[in-house]
Structure 1
Amino acid sequence: MTVTGTARIATLDIVRGIAVMGILAMNIVDFAMPTQAYMNPAAYGTNSTADLAAWIFAFIFVDGKMRGLFSLLFGASMLLVIEGAEAKGENATAIHYRRMLWLGAIGLLHYYLIWHGDILFGYAVAGMVAAFFYQKSPQALIVWGVGFAVVQFALFAAISASFFIAEAEAAKPGSSAEALAAWQDIERDFGRPGGAEIAKELALFRGSYAGILEHRVTVQLFAPAKGLFLFSWETIGYMLFGMAALKTGFLRGTWARNAYARTVAIGFGLGIPVYALLAWLMIRADFHAATLFALWGAATVPMRPAMILATAALIILATRHRGALVARIAAAGRTAFTNYLGTSILMTTLFFGYGFGLFGHFGRAALWLVIIPAWALMLLWSRPWLDRFRYGPLEWAWRSLARGALQPMRRHVEAPA
């Protein structure tokens, strides 16, 4: 998540800063509302035109794009760490896999003890796989990345087909209890859960920490492993795209202005109309569970890389002249690990029952009243911290664990003459 070499690449830090801020804009739905609302706006939290507009905006510009952007940057940073270790004559493989093992352990602690939406464990496993490709050419990395994305698309397309089959089986006269139960499970997880199901989840997350923890280690014990199977293919692909983007200079900010502008025009010119069409089709289908998964899950996979690259190119273009705000965004990117985990602690304290208990009390549009102050907090603390210290607190802990020794933390400032 952070570049540990001596010569930092400012572009990576800036794009990472936007990505970690953007991830909060999507994750906050899962912090603040029942789980089904993350995918299906009809499940909870959409009670007005403003709420629906907030969902449309997030679906087109945020959902999947910030996670993909983060994956891209993870692959690029991973490549820098490996190549930096090789340049120093260190055992790059050992360093990389120690980093991933510790990241995976931190991710599991994050999942079980803090929040069920963890991505770190999945990133650690994906990073172990992606490392096998780091010596390949940009062209080969892109080909392999496309291959992993195709697997992701095929998997989600197969799941979508199974949902439609389950619905058809449940609709048959005299259908079995098993067929009815299978469709009811899909409706509960991806459609509109009944009032009793919503009430149960509201009670859980407005309740005690002990109750939430018990739920994670019983009902959701194997969720991290399921997440690996469902989402790692695309994550690995994006990491390979990130390596290619670093090797070609795209993520170093060295492309010509018109090349970035062309990437923005093509990516958004293709992606925005497609995503807008998918949003319209979901609204038209009244967020029917099987249709929703087919459009939200499978249909977005082929178009998402274009939107991710266009977003990265736009950030690079918009921040080329730097300035005070851009410097703060870059600092938030350098402390992305701390900002990501810190956000989980802050948001669960705000929304869950063992904190302020606001779970289920916000609509989608109103959540921006939380998102914007949280962004401001990231920008306010990261820069002053890095003026005094070399790393963010958790970046330092991760680096020390991976290297088996406490790393220097404080910056050495020369005394005035």
Structure 2
Amino acid sequence: MAPPSNSVVKPQRLESLDRIRGVAVLGILLLNIVGFALPGAAYENPRAYGGWHGADLLAWGVNFLLFDGKMRGLFSFLFGASILLIADAAQAGGRDPVRVHYTRMAWLLVFGVAHLCLLWDGDILAHYALVGALAFPLRRLPTERLVILGLLLVVAAMAVFALVPLLVWTLQHQASDVAGAQANAGQLQSLNNSFGIPSAQAIARELAQYRGGYLPILRARIAESGTNPLAMLFFYGPETLAYMLLGMASLRSGLLGGAWPRERYRRWLRCCWGFALPAYAALAAWLVASGFALLPVTLASLPLTALVRPLMIVGWICLLHLALHPGSALASRLAAAGQMAFTNYLMTSLLCTSIFYGYGLGWFGHFSRWQLYPIVVAVWLLILLWSKPWLARFRFGPLEWLWRSLARGAVQPMRRTDFARSAIASQ
């Protein structure tokens, strides 16, 4: 990420970041929709549920190659960049950056835990709050050191991820007696329920749970997922922290903010995707040839993809800077969706759980994989249609305003006219 400088980032909103964030908030639904609509193992393994032939296999393959992990990675890069921007804005405004950051992270943790417990167990906000607290003291590192530390954390993440396929291999190959084999079979079935082909009983149990009422789902979610933020911090923390630090470096180097010449973006896109896409395609072919067996799935979805995912993320940044022309209708719609990413992310949880869970339309488990994507397109259109008109009247999305007001300990001006009047009054 060849750095022209380590200069302080100007405390201003960068529309280029909002455009990329808008793509990320739309793109992440391509993966999350599986978590909303199908039993959990289907997220990693299409053979678990929802179909793995024909159009269903194609839907899985496109997501595996282009979107799975990459949209989450884009969010993490952008979150790291926002740490720099908000700290600089706080300092420019005469406020304490440390207090501003940790107050924001504390409230984000509250939002994340509420989202996790009340709406959906796939929450990422609480995880970002915890990792963001760790990332903040590292923001002053020189750009080169941010890159080096980020890459070392990617290697550390691969080592953590490798524990899962190592456990699978050990269980499959080490059982010297009948009792040991039975114990191993039980642990293997537990892993199959997450990464492989769950038992019929596990599938039936999950279908019954999510086709039920709100209170039973709530009780089960709290019992099964209440400690998710801590578990995620251990398992995904190194990778997320790596991406936040690389996001800081990307902003400083000009990559993320759109400061590079177009030819440089083209060159980096060719280099990054020229290596990463064939690697992902080879992994996808291996998974299909193996029939999505447990060991290949855990290897491909965890440590092996972690090696090349950063290249895919950087390639996405380059592609979006090349493809989205500032001022175009699509770019402005995406920028508005990105500026309201917090609201739009939580809105998709509310919409999708209402569509698929039993207390809503009750469609959980009733669609094959490819049939979920017309619903994704409908949600995309809603986000793109409502975000820009809202921001024409208001300074923030509804939840962005609430988060900002709570973090600052005072109600913030919401309407643009109210903000203009308060600015005039303060002069």
Task: Map Cα deviations across residues 76-104 of structure 1 (whole Å, 9 max, x no partner).
Answer: 01110011111222110000000001001
2:311 pairs with 1:302? no
Return the alpha-carbon distance in structure 2 between the equivalents of residues 321 and 330 of structure 1: 10
Shift of 1:42: 0.5
Cross-structure match for 2:411:
406
Cross-structure match for 1:380:
385
2:298 pairs with 1:293? yes
The 8 Å contact of residues 170 and 180 in structure 1, kept in 2 or not, is answered as no
Shift of 1:171: 8.3
Out of 313, 318, 329, the position equivalent to 2:318 is: 313
Counterpart AA for 2:240: T
Return the alpha-carbon distance in structure 1 between the equivalents of residues 404 and 42 of structure 2: 36
2:160 pairs with 1:160? no
Counterpart AA for 1:404: G
Structure 1 gaps of 5+ residues are none
Return the alpha-carbon distance in structure 2 between the equivalents of residues 68 and 56 of structure 1: 18
Cross-structure match for 2:17:
12
Return the alpha-carbon distance in structure 1 between the equivalents of residues 106 and 98 of structure 2: 12
The 8 Å contact of residues 114 and 345 in structure 1, kept in 2 or not, is answered as yes
Out of 324, 334, 357, the position equivalent to 1:352 is: 357
Instruction: Provide closer, same or farther for how the CA distance between residues 116 and 174 of structure 1 changes in structure 2, counting only shifts above 3 A.
Output: closer
Return the alpha-carbon distance in structure 2 between the equivalents of residues 89 and 136 of structure 1: 22
Return the alpha-carbon distance in structure 1 between the equivalents of residues 244 and 11 of structure 2: 22
Out of 186, 204, 211, the position equivalent to 1:206 is: 211
Return the alpha-carbon distance in structure 2 between the equivalents of residues 321 and 14 of structure 1: 9
Return the alpha-carbon distance in structure 1 between the equivalents of residues 59 and 99 of structure 2: 45
Out of 218, 221, 228, the position equivalent to 2:223 is: 218
The 8 Å contact of residues 11 and 92 in structure 2, kept in 1 or not, is answered as no
Cross-structure match for 2:108:
103
User: Is the partner of 1:175 in helix, strand or coil?
Assistant: helix
Shift of 1:363: 1.2
Cross-structure match for 2:3:
none
Counterpart AA for 1:39: E
Out of 137, 147, 160, the position equivalent to 1:132 is: 137
Counterpart AA for 2:411: L
Name the TM-score, length of structure 2 as normaliser.
Answer: 0.93
The 8 Å contact of residues 196 and 294 in structure 2, kept in 1 or not, is answered as yes
2:253 pairs with 1:248? yes
The 8 Å contact of residues 12 and 89 in structure 2, kept in 1 or not, is answered as no
Shift of 1:158: 2.4
Return the alpha-carbon distance in structure 1 between the equivalents of residues 97 and 342 of structure 2: 21
| Match runs of 1:209-288 below 5 Å | 209-288=214-293
Shift of 1:50: 0.4
Return the alpha-carbon distance in structure 2 between the equivalents of residues 69 and 150 of structure 1: 19
Shift of 1:170: 4.8
User: Is the partner of 2:306 in helix, strand or coil?
Assistant: coil
2:333 pairs with 1:333? no
2:198 pairs with 1:193? yes
Task: Map Cα deviations across residues 284-306 of structure 1 (whole Å, 9 max, x no partner).
Answer: 11111122101111100110000
Cross-structure match for 2:73:
68
Ranges of 4+ aligned residues in structure 1 off by more than 4 Å: 170-174
The 8 Å contact of residues 170 and 183 in structure 1, kept in 2 or not, is answered as no
Counterpart AA for 1:352: Y
Cross-structure match for 2:424:
none
Task: Map Cα deviations across residues 222-275 of structure 1 (whole Å, 9 max, x no partner).
Answer: 222212211111011000011001111111111000111111111111111000
User: Is the partner of 1:45 in helix, strand or coil?
Assistant: coil
Instruction: Provide closer, same or farther for how the CA distance between residues 6 and 129 of structure 1 changes in structure 2, counting only shifts above 3 A.
Output: closer
Aligned-pair Cα RMSD in Å: 1.6
Instruction: Provide closer, same or farther for how the CA distance between residues 255 and 241 of structure 1 changes in structure 2, counting only shifts above 3 A.
Output: same
Return the alpha-carbon distance in structure 2 between the equivalents of residues 321 and 404 of structure 1: 35
Return the alpha-carbon distance in structure 1 between the equivalents of residues 246 and 65 of structure 2: 21
Out of 36, 39, 42, the position equivalent to 1:37 is: 42
The 8 Å contact of residues 119 and 353 in structure 2, kept in 1 or not, is answered as yes
Return the alpha-carbon distance in structure 1 between the equivalents of residues 415 and 374 of structure 2: 35
Cross-structure match for 1:184:
189
Percentage of matched positions with identical amino acids: 44
Instruction: Provide closer, same or farther for how the CA distance between residues 373 and 140 of structure 1 changes in structure 2, counting only shifts above 3 A.
Output: same
Task: Map Cα deviations across residues 52-80 of structure 1 (whole Å, 9 max, x no partner).
Answer: 00000000000000000010001101110
Counterpart AA for 1:219: E
The 8 Å contact of residues 264 and 309 in structure 1, kept in 2 or not, is answered as yes
Shift of 1:172: 6.3
Shift of 1:176: 4.3
Return the alpha-carbon distance in structure 1 between the equivalents of residues 192 and 177 of structure 2: 17
Task: Name whichever of 102-111 and 192-201 sits farther off.
Answer: 192-201
Task: Name whichever of 168-177 and 348-357 sits farther off.
Answer: 168-177
Name the TM-score, length of structure 1 as normaliser.
Answer: 0.96
Return the alpha-carbon distance in structure 1 between the equivalents of residues 113 and 178 of structure 2: 45
The 8 Å contact of residues 47 and 363 in structure 1, kept in 2 or not, is answered as no
Cross-structure match for 1:396:
401
Counterpart AA for 1:346: L
Shift of 1:174: 5.9
Counterpart AA for 1:199: A
Cross-structure match for 2:6:
none
